[in-house]
Each structure stands twice: as C-alpha cells, then as structure tokens.
Structure 1
Amino acid sequence: MTELMKAVGYYHALPLENPDSFLDLTLPIPNVSGRDLLIEVKAVSVNPVDTKQRTLEPQNLEPRILGFDAAGVVKAVGPDCTLFSQGDEVFYAGDVTRPGSNSHFQLVDERLVAKKPSQLTFAEAAAMPLTSLTAYEALFERLAIEPNSGKTILIIAASGGVGSIATQLANHAGLTVIGTASRSETVTWTKEHGTAIVLNHHQPLTPQLHAQGYDYVDYILCLNNTDAYWDAMAELIAPQGKICSIVENEHPLELGKLKSKSATFVWEFMFTKAMYQTKDLYSQHEILKTISQLLDQGAIRSTLTETLRPISAKTMRAAHQKVESGKMIGKVVLESY
C-alpha cells in the first residue's frame, strides 16, 4: 500500500487572491534511490524565487510543489549516499527542477544538504539555506573576494533575505560594507547585520557615496532591479572592480560602460549547479557546512523574523503575500503539518 503525505501545491498558475492558487494536497511519499535523501520536512521558508516560480504553469497535469528552503530530519538514504544517516537533522535549498520542500517528505540530492546548525531551531535554520548559498557564492565565487583585504563592497537592497546574509558574511570577511535601505526599520536592521554606511536607494547613490568620502567601491552586489541601478553601478565601481547581480535584467545592459575600467560583471544564480549537474555540485554541501558552523559560533545569525503555523495552503498564501509586498525584513518561515 502506497504511503501518503501532506503537501501544498497548485495545478494552475493563479493570482494569490484565487483560493486555488495554493491547495492542500495528499500525495504519495516518494521512493529514495541513488544519492537522494528522503527528508521529513519540519520547516520551510518562502523566497522571491517562490513567487516567480508560482507564475509558471505546471507540466503534464501534475501539481507543482514549490519550496526552496527547508530544515528537517533524514528518514531514508539512497544506496549511493555517503554523507548522511537516518535521523540526521539537516537544512538545504534543493533543486528548482525537482519538486520542492512544501511537502511533508522530499527527495534531495545529498550534495545539496548539510547538517542543521545545532544551536538553531528548525524554523531558524529553514530561513538560511537559499540566501546563504546565494550570498556566499556571490561574494566568494563570483566576486572572488579575499578575506581581510580591507576592500569595500556596496550591497544594494541590504535588508532583504540575501542582503541580510551578505552583509554579515562580508563584514565577517573584513570588508567595509556599504548597504542601501530606505525605511528607518530597514536602516536599523541593516546596521545591526554589519553595514558600516547606509545609503538611501530612493535617492541617487553616487552623491551619497561621495559625501561619505568614497569615489569608488571595489565590489558591488546588486540584489534589486539591475536595470535601475546599472548606470550608478557602472559609475561607482572601481577600476578593475567587480559587479555581481542576482536580478535578471529586463532591457539590454550597456556593458560598454565598464570597458574603460576593465571592470567585471557576473551573474549569480544559486540553482545553476543543480540545474546543470556541474562538477562542483558538492560545493553547496561544503558551503552550507561553513554556514552552519558560523551560525553555531554566533559569527552570523539567522534572519528569521516571522513564523507561520501550520504549513498549509492558507499560510502559504499569506507568506507569499508578505514576500511580494516588497516590505519584508528578513525571512518568513512556515512550520509544522
């Protein structure tokens, strides 16, 4: 007899106001094989990628299960697994090409998983994987930042999910962190997470930075509206500096603006390694291990700001509304079935 599990998903891409935009479903528990882990999901977080993926129509009449942040317990391991055992508490972001974490049980390649920080609750841990992986890859792989170099970084949208981790990681690596925020509460949040200088992103950035005594910055991490900030980034990046963005452009970018400075522009997409099964797929396991250690040491902290219970279609709609509002500070997590 097939064992069943609860899940939250949808059959059609619909506006959140439609009650069928998310549905409470009952689905078969998947079978484990290869290097997959079967994980009992304890808590999940909602990210902007969830809201974007929700606009995509499911294929082959199968329900779409979103969710790209989770913490849980390993219930079974595939025959080729070597990293984990049944009963291990873990956290992970997963793979955008497979069913997500908004289900009671989920299959995840063990190379994308690490043991949960022992000092954090499942909810606190579930807030961290996607944003931590994105921030870490952007800083240390795409921008190739060397710790304790004494250099400067501008983080655009520093109070969001990724920004809240990037500021902490960059500060921990010894960089002078300049972040952008606009509301008093986001300015405070950003400073609490390691930003030395805060610029208002609703006003021109260049004169604000110059007023702080900086002509250029060595690195820029763009976490909001690449098109809108392109000219400012091209102007503010130092000669031979590097710019990384996680936000796709809607119009062609004038890369020629970077030529005279020999400046670098690079994308970061956390799901690249899993989507293309790259040779360094295992690196996400290692990155999450590092993040787990930093969290347990108190060098960085969870960005969880709100928890909703239980994991259901109703609470999932509420979480998506919060993320889509553009006013989220930190992360929203759902826990318990």
Structure 2
Amino acid sequence: MRAVVGLQDVELPDPAPGPRDLLVRIEAVSVNPVDVKQRASGESKVLGYDASGVVAAVGAEVSLFRVGDEVYYAGAIDRPGTNAELHLVDERIAGHKPRSLTFAEAASLPLTTITAWESLFDRFRLGPDSTGTLLVLGAAGGVGSMIIQLARALTRLTVVGTASRPESREWARGLGAHDVVDHRHLPEGVDFVFSPHTAGQIETFARILRPGGQITAIDEPPGLDLLPLKAKSISFHWELMFTRSLFETPDMVVQHELLDRVGELVDAGTVRHTMTRELGPIGAVQLREAHQMVEDGHMTGKVVVAGW
C-alpha cells in the first residue's frame, strides 16, 4: 500500500486486521496540531489521526460494522497513522460517517469532536439542563469550533469564545457563540473555561472564574502551578481523547457511540463540519502544505487532504 512516513511517500505491506479491527480504505485525512508534534519528534512512522473511508475487511470479532460501511474516526496514538491507503482501527473508536457529508468534510470532525464531547460531558459533566457561562479559548480552532456547536446543541450554557482576527470572530459567531471577545480582554464571572493554551494563564483563570468553577485543558505546559486556583476551589481537568484507546478502558465503545450521535446531529443540520480548506491528492507534498498551514497558527477550522 502507499503511505506517507514522516512526510515521504513510501510503499508498505498491507496490514491485516486483528479481532476487533476494521481495515479501512482511506478516502480523506485531516491535519491536527498533534500531527505536527509527531512529525517534529523525528520518529519514522506513518502519521495521521483523523480519517474517513470505507471498510474493506473486518476482524473475526467485529460486530458494529460490515464491509462496505463508510466510517470516520480519529485513530489511536499507539498505532500506525491514517496517512496511508489502508489503515487499521479498533471498531470501538470508529463511527458511521454522516451520510450528508463528503469523505473530506467528514474527515475534519473526529479528533476535535471527541475532544470537545469528552471535555463537555466527561470532564465538566454537563447535561441538557446545564447553565452558566462557558469561555472557549481559541474558539475558531478545530476543537473550539466543536465545543461551541455541541455546547449550543446539547446544553443551556451561554458560550463566549475568544478570537483575535475578524474572520475568526465571524466564524465563531457563525457556529453559535453568544459572544466573541479578544483573548486579551477576558470576561469575569465565568463558570467553565476550555483551554488549549494554558501556559501563563492560571492566575487569569483564577481571577475570572466563579468560586467552584472548572477548567479543562488539552495542552501540556511544563511546570504548571495550579495553586492560585485553590482559594476559589476551582477544579482543573486534563483531556486527552486517546486515553480510552491507549488503556483500552471498559467504556472504550463510548467513542463509537458519540461519533454516531454527532453524525446524527450533522445529518439533522444541527452541527456542521469544520473543513475550510481541501487539498489533494493524499501524498507527501500535499500533507507538507497542510502541516505548514497548521504550524502557522492562523487556521480557522480544519484543513483536509483527500483522494489518491
């Protein structure tokens, strides 16, 4: 099969599915900051997480999918990546592709959708009757875009996003943010903060959050000092969407279920995809361009590479 190792085109043997695996013929992939980090590590491996495609074969114990099903998913951090013609994924972390989306559009969703869902409903433990104010830092980014949409669709929260450029502010408002502010002028009296950029922000969070407020962070700043949060009894959560697959937790299938649920919301017109750029075909040249766009730090939405 053709694959991209690092950012070089290579030929590799076709993979064979394990008991719970789907063998997926990849149609589209998207690039996330984690892909850039993996490439920068210098390790020689097939990169990529987000993907959509068609099930070409299934393992002996697969029960959730059949050959020919269209799927979308975010892969696993401890297995070869999706930048390949054929890819193996555990059925418990894959969802049925939304019928209303192209493969490219669907590939923009899984990693950011799972991260957003777990942040809202596993970390903050929100529900349909939850109220208060949620502050979403980096609201125009991939995860921020999904946090806004899911919070608006499935809770009663007031959602405030941060964005600095006019096009980013317009994007966040279009996704349903009640208000969009500059990151240098954060509102006070918020109940929840979603943070992809936590370094140097803890004292600010301690100031703007109400007593008993909560933070969920997805970055990993070294030497993070959480002591300023104590006076207000503020809770701090980490979110890593790969935890369930990395440790094969008993509830691993929740990621399959939430992807199917979001697919229903997409097909109902309640949630929309976040692809803003499509490149192709899949290969080292196009992936290099997509990585550069993510590294530049000015992406609104997601960049997808599709087709062979």
TM normalised by structure 1 equals 0.89
- Secondary structure of 1:28's aligned partner: coil
Please tell me whether the aligned partners of residues 266 and 273 of structure 2 are also in contact (alpha carbons under 8 angstroms). Answer: yes
- Of residues 239, 242, 257, the one that matches 1:286 is 257
Say whether 1:327 aligns with 2:283.
Answer: no
Counterpart in the other structure of 2:199? 227
Cα distance between partner residues in 1 of 2:268 and 2:138: 26
Cα distance between partner residues in 2 of 1:265 and 1:241: 9
Counterpart in the other structure of 2:45? 64
Paired residues for 1:257-336 under 5 Å: 257-336=228-307
- Secondary structure of 2:277's aligned partner: strand
1:277 Cα offset (Å): 1.3
Counterpart in the other structure of 2:134? 153
Counterpart in the other structure of 1:18? none
Counterpart in the other structure of 1:77? 58
- Of residues 25, 28, 40, the one that matches 2:10 is 25
- Secondary structure of 2:215's aligned partner: strand
Counterpart in the other structure of 1:36? 21
1:32 Cα offset (Å): 1.4
1:199 Cα offset (Å): 1.3
Say whether 1:193 aligns with 2:165.
Answer: no
Paired residues for 1:211-226 under 5 Å: 215-224=188-197, 226=198
Cα distance between partner residues in 2 of 1:55 and 1:309: 22
1:249 Cα offset (Å): 1.3
Cα distance between partner residues in 2 of 1:147 and 1:265: 22
Q: Structure 1 runs of 4+ off > 4 angstroms?
A: none
Cα distance between partner residues in 2 of 1:279 and 1:56: 31
The aligned amino acid for 1:194 is G
Cα distance between partner residues in 2 of 1:131 and 1:53: 17
1:57 Cα offset (Å): 3.3
Cα distance between partner residues in 2 of 1:237 and 1:306: 35
1:319 Cα offset (Å): 0.2
1:228 Cα offset (Å): 2.6
Please tell me whether the aligned partners of residues 203 and 229 of structure 2 are also in contact (alpha carbons under 8 angstroms). Answer: no
1:250 Cα offset (Å): 2.4
Larger radius of gyration: 1
State the aligned residue count. 307
- Of residues 226, 234, 237, the one that matches 2:209 is 237
Over residues 160-195 of structure 1, what are the superposed CA-to-partner deviations in whole Å (9 max), with x where a residue is unaligned? Answer: 000001011111122100110000000100110111
- Secondary structure of 1:165's aligned partner: helix
Counterpart in the other structure of 2:96? 115
Over residues 220-243 of structure 1, what are the superposed CA-to-partner deviations in whole Å (9 max), with x where a residue is unaligned? Answer: 10122x013222111111111111
Cα distance between partner residues in 2 of 1:32 and 1:169: 33
Counterpart in the other structure of 1:212? none
- Of residues 27, 30, 38, the one that matches 1:45 is 30
Over residues 12-45 of structure 1, what are the superposed CA-to-partner deviations in whole Å (9 max), with x where a residue is unaligned? Answer: xxxxxxxxxx111111110112100100000000
Over residues 115-163 of structure 1, what are the superposed CA-to-partner deviations in whole Å (9 max), with x where a residue is unaligned? Answer: 0000000000000000000000001101111223231100011000000
- Secondary structure of 2:263's aligned partner: helix
Cα distance between partner residues in 2 of 1:242 and 1:83: 35
- Secondary structure of 1:266's aligned partner: strand
The aligned amino acid for 2:200 is A
Over residues 51-107 of structure 1, what are the superposed CA-to-partner deviations in whole Å (9 max), with x where a residue is unaligned? Answer: 01112233xxxx400111000000000001111000000000010110010000001
TM normalised by structure 2 equals 0.97
- Secondary structure of 2:71's aligned partner: strand
Cα distance between partner residues in 1 of 2:224 and 2:210: 22
Paired residues for 1:71-150 under 5 Å: 71-150=52-131
Cα distance between partner residues in 1 of 2:19 and 2:218: 31
Q: Which runs of 5+ in 2 are unaligned?
A: none
The aligned amino acid for 2:17 is V
